[in-house]
Amino acid sequence: MGEERKSFRNTIVLIVGLLVFWQLMYFVVGDVAMRSPWQTMRSTVELARTDWFWLHVDNTMRAFAAALVIAIVLGLLIGFALGLHRLSAEAMEPMLVALYSIPKITLYPIILLVFGLGMSAKVAFGAIHGIIPVALFTLSAVRSTRPIFVKTGRVLKLSKPAMVRSILFPAAVPEIFTGLRVGFSLTLIGTVLGEMFASQYGLGHLLMNAIGLYNVEVIMSVTFLLVVFAAIVNGILLAIDRRLHFRA
């Protein structure tokens, strides 16, 4: 497995490189606005000892989990519904791409007006970030299923649900998984963004609060934790993703 060892080595080199860059930035910017990697690790550990911090983490994670479930379920439904119908797929794909590229953050006030301040607004905001990539990847996966699979299904006289369950879905799994991976990241970003703008709890709120209080330690620690969390989960998903694509 030379390939795997190589990518492992690259990751290590990269992490070391980023830490060096961070330390150098710290030397340039100074104590006014930054903390060094070592100081950040220490303040992160300190932060992790407090109860209120976990309250915020818990809040963010619950909102994120709910948003992710909604994004995946709706994204898959939309993707399959459009992908099964040729004209719909052709017409809706560019529209979904256009939706994907708009700054969804401008929709946040509308979501707040509809859902009110609190958990449901955050969940909705996270979900709208995740739905579109999941739907887009599912749609294109369903459309690009090898025709011979679909024909086999027709020969076997499968009903539509049976066709989705035993042919289209298994054939589309690798692509769909890529969609889930992208959806995962975007939902996390959406949830935290939602908290930054209007929320009383959560890591996003903690960040905004820390700007107000000029609390550099908290800003560095929370940013650090978010980045590490996103990077680790994405790394795991990416590994599974590559394996699925390799098998297919």
Residue numbers 67-96 binding another protein by CB under 8 A: 87-88, 90-92, 94-95
- Cβ proximity to another protein: between 1 and 87 the closer is 87
One-letter identity of residue 138: T
- Return the residue of 64, 108, 125, 137 that touches another protein, per CB under 8 A: 108
Asked whether the beta carbons of 207 and 196 are under 8 A apart, the reply is yes
User: What does the DSSP 8-state code read for residue 223?
Assistant: H
Asked whether the beta carbons of 191 and 67 are under 8 A apart, the reply is yes
Torsion angle (degrees, nearest 10) of CA 125, 126, 127, 130:
130
User: What does the DSSP 8-state code read for residue 157?
Assistant: T
User: What does the DSSP 8-state code read for residue 47?
Assistant: H
- Return the residue of 71, 121, 171, 216 that touches another protein, per CB under 8 A: 216
Site string for another protein, 194-213 (x = CB under 8 A): --xx---------xx-xx--
Alpha-carbon radius of gyration of the chain: 22
Site residues, another protein (CB under 8 A): 6-7, 10-11, 13-14, 17-18, 29, 32-34, 87-88, 90-92, 94-95, 97-98, 101-110, 112-114, 182, 184-185, 188-189, 192-193, 196-197, 207-208, 210-211, 214, 216, 219-220, 222-223, 226-227, 230-231, 233-235, 238
